[in-house]
């Protein structure tokens, strides 16, 4: 049987792993290759690098990081952040990435996802969706940040790292992206991201049930029960977590043993 996946995510800025809360108070946490290798040893199922490098000139640093990672780490590697063109994708895959995740570029031009999946195969195109509950949108309507005439949605898609609202319904968007050739959805709840209160289960389940491609739950994991809830209640195929693993609150192995004991099918390695 196919096992459920646990995916640690590293924020990478100018070629270094950084840790912080909501991209604030960032501090250096080492070489991404070393950190990835550590997770590989622990038996992580995949690894994701999110490139948060601000300046465009330093974008190619991530290529070098991927290049070096592929020499030492033999598990699936996904890279996201700032991907805009087919050349960006080609360069990352050539350096040794297996999948790329696109967010803003997909919202700007959905056909980009179509072209990318036709060119490189659906299996390597992950569409990242940053979604926020509409309650928080309604409060923005009240404060006149956005137009109240937009149709009412349950969860709204955001771009640019959660800064820009789009007016797009997250569930509809996920279905559309599947149709356009996405091989997987990386779903982040902006309401929960950084809170350690657990994944947005309702959002995760709604999207997982709406599409026929795998869904990765992200945003809010604070303990191992949250991972369990993401799989069992949220019906996620994989869970992404950053801080609980970075700060050594739990090891990957502890997380998997916890899940296995509760009846979730996970892959435990002996080495």
Partner 1 sequence: MIAIIDYRMGNLRSVQKGFEKVGHEAFVTGNPEDILAANGVVLPGVGAFKDCMSNLTEGKLIDPIHKVIKGGKPFLGICLGLQLLFTEGEEFGIHKGLDIIKGRVVRFPEPRTPNPEPLKVPHMGWNSINIRGQGVKGSRGLNPRTLEPSNPLFKDIPDNSYFYFVHSYYVVPEDDSIIASTTDYGVEFVSSISKDNLFAVQFHPEKSQEMGLKILKNFGDMCKT
Torsion, Cα 17 19 48 184, to 10 degrees, reads -150
**Helix residue spans in the chain (DSSP H):** 32-42, 60-72, 86-95, 104-108, 110-120, 134-142, 170-179, 201-210, 224-232, 243-246, 252-261
Q: Which of the ranges 130-138, 146-154, 208-216, 248-256 carries the binding residues for partner 1, by CB under 8 A?
A: 208-216
Q: Which is nearer to partner 1, 45 or 88 (CB)?
A: 45
Q: Map the footprint of partner 1 across residues 234-263, applying CB under 8 A.
A: 237-238
Kindly list the distances between the CA atom of residue 93 and the CA atoms of 31, 46, 63, 89, 207, in Å, as whole numbers in the listed order. 20, 15, 9, 6, 27
CA distance 89 to 58: 16
CA distance 223 to 138: 30
Among 85, 123, 148, 164, the residue binding partner 1 under the rule CB under 8 A is 123
Q: Which of the ranges 29-37, 113-121, 138-146, 249-257 carries the binding residues for partner 1, by CB under 8 A?
A: 113-121
Of 46, 120, 49, which is closest to residue 79 (Cα–Cα)?
49
Q: Map the footprint of partner 1 across residues 157-196, applying CB under 8 A.
A: 183-184
CA distance 144 to 238: 37
135 touches partner 1 (CB under 8 A): no
32 touches partner 1 (CB under 8 A): no
* Alpha-carbon Rg for the chain in angstroms: 18
Among 114, 115, 122, 246, the residue binding partner 1 under the rule CB under 8 A is 122
- Give me the active site residues, please: 11, 130
98 touches partner 1 (CB under 8 A): yes
212 touches partner 1 (CB under 8 A): yes
- Smallest gap, in angstroms, from Cβ of residue 271 to partner 1? 5
Among 20, 38, 96, 110, the residue binding partner 1 under the rule CB under 8 A is 96
Among 108, 121, 148, 160, the residue binding partner 1 under the rule CB under 8 A is 121
- Smallest gap, in angstroms, from Cβ of residue 29 to partner 1? 23
Six-digit token string for 114: 């179509």
Q: Which is nearer to partner 1, 23 or 67 (CB)?
A: 67
Of 249, 248, 268, 236, which is closest to residue 45 (Cα–Cα)?
268
CA distance 244 to 219: 11
Residues contributing to the site for partner 1 (CB under 8 A): 1-5, 40, 43, 45, 67, 70-71, 74-76, 93-98, 118, 120-124, 183-184, 212-215, 237-238, 267, 269, 271
């Amino acid at each position: 049987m196919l096992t459920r996946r646990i995916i640690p995510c590293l924020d990478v800025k100018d070629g270094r792993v950084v840790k912080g809360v909501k991209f604030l108070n960032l501090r250096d946490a080492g070489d991404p290759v070393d950190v990835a290798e550590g997770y590989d040893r622990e038996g992580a199922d995949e690894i994701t690098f999110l490139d948060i490098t601000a300046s465009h000139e330093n974008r190619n640093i991530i290529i070098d990081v991927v290049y070096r990672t592929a020499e030492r780490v033999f598990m699936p590697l996904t890279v996201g952040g700032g991907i805009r063109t087919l050349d960006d994708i080609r360069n990352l895959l050539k350096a040794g990435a297996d999948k790329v995740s696109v967010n803003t570029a997909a919202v700007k031009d959905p056909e980009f996802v179509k072209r990318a999946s036709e060119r490189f195969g659906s299996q390597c195109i992950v569409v990242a969706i940053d979604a926020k509950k509409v309650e928080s949108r309604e409060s923005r309507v009240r404060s006149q940040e956005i137009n109240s005439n937009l149709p009412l949605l349950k969860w709204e898609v955001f771009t640019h790292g959660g800064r820009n609202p789009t007016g797009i319904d997250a569930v509809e968007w996920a279905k559309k992206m599947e149709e356009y050739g996405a091989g997987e959805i990386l779903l982040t709840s902006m309401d929960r991201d950084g809170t350690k209160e657990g994944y947005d289960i309702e959002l995760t389940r709604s999207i997982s049930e709406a599409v026929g491609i795998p869904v990765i739950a992200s945003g809010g994991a604070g303990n191992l029960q949250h991972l369990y809830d993401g799989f069992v209640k949220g019906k996620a195929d994989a869970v992404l977590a950053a801080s609980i693993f970075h700060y050594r609150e739990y090891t990957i192995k502890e997380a998997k043993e916890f899940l296995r004991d509760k009846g979730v099918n996970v892959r435990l390695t002996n080495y």
